[in-house]
Structure formats: C-alpha cells, structure tokens
Amino acid sequence: MRRASASFIAVTALLSGALAAAPRAEADEIADFFKGKIIRIIVGFGEGGGYDLYARFASEHMGRFIPGNPTIVTQNMPGAGSKRAAKFVYSVAPKDGTVWGMVAQSVPHEAALGDAEFDYDVNKFQWLGRITSNVDVGVTWHTTNVRTIADAQARQVVVGGTGAASPSVQVPKALNHILGTQFKIVTGYKGSADISLAMERGEVDMVASIGWPSIKSTRPQWVRDKQVNFIYQTAVEKHPELPNIPALGELGRNADETAVLHFIASSADIGRALFAPPDTHPGRLAALRKAFDAMVADPVVKADAERRNVDFDTATWQKLQQLTTQIVTTKPEVLAKVKVALDQK
C-alpha cells in the first residue's frame, strides 16, 4: 500500500483544524457578545407575585451559565393581564438575546380564543425553558364565610382581578357561568401580590388565581396559620400536595363543561417559563437554551431553590413548544364553548 503523500496529510490536518476551530470561534463570538451586557427579563405583572419571584430567581442564577457571564435584571411591565409585556417582547424588544419575557401562563390560551390584541403568532415564541409548572389556587380570607364552592354558589364573593383576560378574571367568570357561583370581580390590580394585600385588608374577599408555589415561598403563614380557605385549584387533576382541594378539571357535570374547564386548567403546564422574541440570533438562542438547562440541573441552584421554597418542575423548550401548539390548535367547537363561558361571544 502506498504511503499518503506529505501534502495530502498536511491538507487533511488543515481541514481538521479548521473544522475544530469553527465551533470554538462561534463560542468565542457568543461570549464576546454577552460579556458586559445587561439582559432584561420583562415580567408581565407587578413586583412580589409568583411570576416576579421566578423571574428574579432566574436573574440571580442564569448569568453564570451563559458565555460571557452577562448581568441579568428584571423589569416589571404589568398591564392587560401581561399581554402588554408579551407583545413588547414579541414585537419591540431587540432580537439579539438581551431581552426575554415571563408572562401569564394563559397567554397561549388567550391567543387560541382569538383575542383581538394577539395580532401575532404565539407559536413563534422562542421558549428557553420552564422553571416550574404552576397550579393556581383560589383562596378566601379566613374571616369570610366562604370556604367551599357551595358557599360561593350561595352568596356573593368579591374577587380581585388584574386584566380582563387574566386567569384572575377568567377562572371566576367561567365558574359563574358553569357552576352558578356568585363571584363579583373587581379589576385593576397589578398582580396577585396586590390582590393578596387587598384581601388581607378586607377590600376583597378572594384571590381567584395565585400560584401554589408562590404561596409556599412568599406567604407560608397563610397555610401554617390557616389564614386562607382553599376553594379550588386550576388544574386538570389534583396536585399531590393539594389532595383535598377540588380541581377545575374534575368539576364539570357533563362532557361540554369538562372540556371547557380542562382547556382553562391546562395553563398549569406552561407555568413559569422564559421565552425570547421570534427571530432571535440562532447561535445566541442555542446558548441561552443550553444555559437554562444547565441552570436548572445545577446542584447549587437546586439547593438555593429548596432553601427558598422555590418549586422546580422543569420542562425543555421543546416541550413548551409542543404544549403551545396543542393549545392554539384546540378544536373550534371547544373554543366556542369556552368563549361562551367567558362571555366573549
């Protein structure tokens, strides 16, 4: 067998070196871009609520997993049940990886229902990942005489809400329509933290939609001191930690009611998730997704989450994309019934 020529060996070596250098060059370019940068997480609600809590947790930890170790800050942009923030990230924010969003887990559902404010495609959200799924619960203050769904069917309950399309409004509206509850909704609050304070002060009787993880981390005294009554949980099935609280998905009395309540309750699977704008720089987007996966797998981060009572129930960006697609392609006949329940048609 003839030995390879020196020139052939040299060319092969050069090509191998070039191929190996290409990924390194891209990594260096990404690190150079993010070095010294400030990344903003746009949160669709006010300070102190569940979304704000998880966005700030991510802002504290994720930077060290991104090439270049940028600084990450949160910016609260409440309005219209977080649709203001969702549209800003989608349409206005730079597409260079320096702006992400964390908005209402019901945003894909609102888009599926044909909300006029969604003049864009939520299927184009560039998901980074989910920190936790989120079961919202409806709670009344301990001084009220409303402790069950049956009590809410028998008497009026004043409920605090944010935007008209938020779960804090949509869930009680749907229950009024389907089960005959008497929730009177007062809107205009910036987020669950504001509504919670209003309930504690006696301005409203109920918080209709607040994350169970948020209660555990920011208001453990509610549970410890039995300060609230749990009326329902916005979930298809009962959360393992809430076995005695009715789940919306179990409250339907027939197939139509069950289909409507399942659609509303399925938002729990989106949970507290981060996304980047459409058309984000592909290389940087891949780096951000890799960084998210590394963050939620890191033992130091997990230990901090456990210490602070921050739930982890993570999902990949691929899973979130799949969920979003399933939601926005819900059968029209189901969506029509949901719209009736929400007084949208």
CA 317 to chain centre: 12
Of 118, 108, 131, the closest CA to residue 51 belongs to 131
Under CATH, which number does the domain 136-267 receive?
3.40.190.10
pLDDT confidence band for 89 (50 / 70 / 90): very high
- The predicted pLDDT at position 344 comes to 61
Using the predicted structure, report yes or no on whether residue 15 has a pLDDT greater than 70: no
Digit-coded pLDDT (tens) for 104-162 = 998 999 899 988 788 889 999 999 999 999 999 999 999 999 999 999 999 999 999 98
Residue 244 pLDDT exceeds 80: yes
- pTM for this predicted structure: 0.81
Per-domain residue ranges of the chain = 31-133+270-329, 136-267
pLDDT-based confidence at 5, cuts 50/70/90? low
pLDDT at 9: 60
Within this chain, domains 31-133+270-329 and 136-267 share the same CATH topology:
yes
pLDDT at 146: 97
How far apart, in whole angstroms, are the C-alpha atoms of residue 345 and residue 338? 9
**pLDDT, tens only, 211-236:** 999 899 889 999 999 999 999 999 98
Q: How far apart are the first and last CA of the chain?
A: 81
Q: How confident is the model at residue 2 (pLDDT cuts 50, 70, 90)?
A: very low
Distance between CA atoms of residues 327 and 270, nearest Å = 10
31-133+270-329 maps to CATH 3.20.20.140 = no
pLDDT at 1 (0 to 100): 44
